Amino acid sequence: MEYDIKDLSLKNIGREKIEWVKDFMPVLSSIEKKYIDKQPLKGIRVSMALHLEAKTAYLAIVMKNLGAEVRVSGSNPLSTQDQICAALVDMGISVFAYRGVDNETYNRHLVQALSHKPHIIIDDGADLAHTLHKKHPELRENVYGGCEETTTGVIRLKAMDRQKILKYPMFAINDADCKHLFDNRFGTGQSSLEGVMRSTNLSLFGKKVVVAGFGWCGKGIAEKAKGFGANVIVTEVDAVKALEAAMEGYEVMPMKQAAKIGDIFITSTGNIDIITKEHFVLMKNNAILCNAGHFDCEISMKQLNKIAVKKEDRRNGVTGYHLKNGNVINVLGEGRLVNLACSDGHAAEIMDMSFALQLLTALYVLDNKGKLENRLYNVPVEIDRAVAEAKLESMGICIDVLSAEQKKYLESWE
Ligand code: NAI
């Protein structure tokens, strides 16, 4: 079995972490139970690019248990946990990832994860799609289709779809209700703040926390920071979102103004150059900066490295950049997603839903192979509903049911 990981001897710690999250992912477990005898993925080769931590590992294991031959790479150089990679290899899954890989190795790992010529693609950030379309078209000849987990990946796939260059059908998991309403909002809200608090060992109460972007992730981060007693400031470019933030009671202003007063800055826009040198020089001494967006392009690390007169490691995951004006700017997790670089990512109960969507959608792709067009699809509503229903059931929550009269009333215009 091929693999490229840091240290196989870490497998027991990885196993413990996976065993722990399994107990809190009942929806994914119930799907595994339902299909285990049928082995619907028997003979199917699956390539996955994932933030390699315990929950994603469990998805890979379930895919394998349902019969698939699974190859996995990381989806970000700093989100990979080496213990998890070791545990997966020990369980017979080919993993090509370790924490802190350079760009060249990261890209090689993507190719290695694809080199068995997969039938199904499970992407997070669309790096597998990029590799299959730009660099290694010969590896995509067997692909039936796949799914994409995050906002940024979906944005990239939408651009490919608009240009009509997608060579296999893809499903936008992120756009399903059971993904962005929960994972992006509640998941990123909690785990980004965990990343900040764990890496700095500081508090949020009384601090001015600047949240850049009031989309699904930004809303969650702002809400949770407010809950911790922070004074939240929002920056936006969309008038409606900015208005929504203002009506939620947050201060709204441009980044140039916020830069002068913020204590902690968290970007989550999916866009580039949100915090740049024009902002760094305005910031208070010991300002803390981090990013929750998919790529490390929201805080301009290039510019910060250029204007800093000295750089030092201050704590695990905290780098201090000394500026000419005597101030220090602290960046968490090198500007990569703070919740995964400086913490364990989203809570297991949340990822249970996102990964249930991934698995059910992969099964849908198989059931419909040959019938789908090479374009970006939304997750079928039945799958979204099924995941919500299974989650409610696992939480012991019952809801009301429309009566025939109510249904008729809602469908009529008279
Ligand atoms: P979204 O599209 O709902 O929100 C992004 C918001 O940023 C929009 O309201 C947009 O108007 C705003 N924005 C864009 N440019 C801006 C600028 N220059 N200044 C201020 N605001 C700006 O996207 P969502 O779902 O919130 O995702 C954001 C990013 O987070 C994406 O890169 C996504 O892939 C990533 N993500 C990260 C997760 C994590 O675990 N850290 C989980 C889910 C998503």
Q: What is the mean pLDDT of residues 264-270?
A: 98
Q: What is the mean pLDDT of residues 12-31?
A: 97
> Which residue's alpha carbon is at the smallest distance from atom 30 of ligand 1?
293
CB 76 less than 6 A from any atom of ligand 1: no
> Which residue's alpha carbon is at the smallest distance from atom 19 of ligand 1?
236
CB 337 less than 6 A from any atom of ligand 1: yes
- Per residue in 279-291, pLDDT (tens digit) is 999 999 999 999 9
Ligand 1 center to residue 143 CA distance, Å? 29
> Which residue's alpha carbon is at the smallest distance from atom 18 of ligand 1?
274
Distances (CA, A) of 67 to 46, 254, 363, 391: 10, 52, 12, 25
Atom of ligand 1 nearest to the CA of 339: 41
CB 131 less than 6 A from any atom of ligand 1: no
CB 215 less than 6 A from any atom of ligand 1: yes
Ligand 1 center to residue 215 CA distance, Å? 5
- Per residue in 40-52, pLDDT (tens digit) is 999 999 999 999 9
- Per residue in 391-414, pLDDT (tens digit) is 999 999 999 999 999 999 999 998
CB 270 less than 6 A from any atom of ligand 1: yes
Q: What is the mean pLDDT of residues 121-134?
A: 98
Q: How confident is the model at residue 163 (pLDDT cuts 50, 70, 90)?
A: very high
> Which residue's alpha carbon is at the smallest distance from atom 12 of ligand 1?
213
CB 26 less than 6 A from any atom of ligand 1: no
Cβ atoms of 149 and 174 closer than 8 Å = yes
CB 267 less than 6 A from any atom of ligand 1: no
Coil vs helix vs strand at 219: helix
CB 339 less than 6 A from any atom of ligand 1: yes
Cβ atoms of 354 and 181 closer than 8 Å = no
Q: How confident is the model at residue 126 (pLDDT cuts 50, 70, 90)?
A: very high
Distance between CA atoms of residues 203 and 205, nearest Å: 6
- Per residue in 64-95, pLDDT (tens digit) is 999 999 999 999 999 999 999 999 999 999 99
Residue 152, pLDDT score: 96
> Which residue's alpha carbon is at the smallest distance from atom 8 of ligand 1?
215
CB 293 less than 6 A from any atom of ligand 1: yes
Residue with tokens 């008729």: 408
Ligand 1 center to residue 82 CA distance, Å? 28
Atom of ligand 1 nearest to the CA of 346: 40
Whole-number average pLDDT of the chain: 97
Ligand 1 center to residue 409 CA distance, Å? 38
Specify the pTM.
0.95
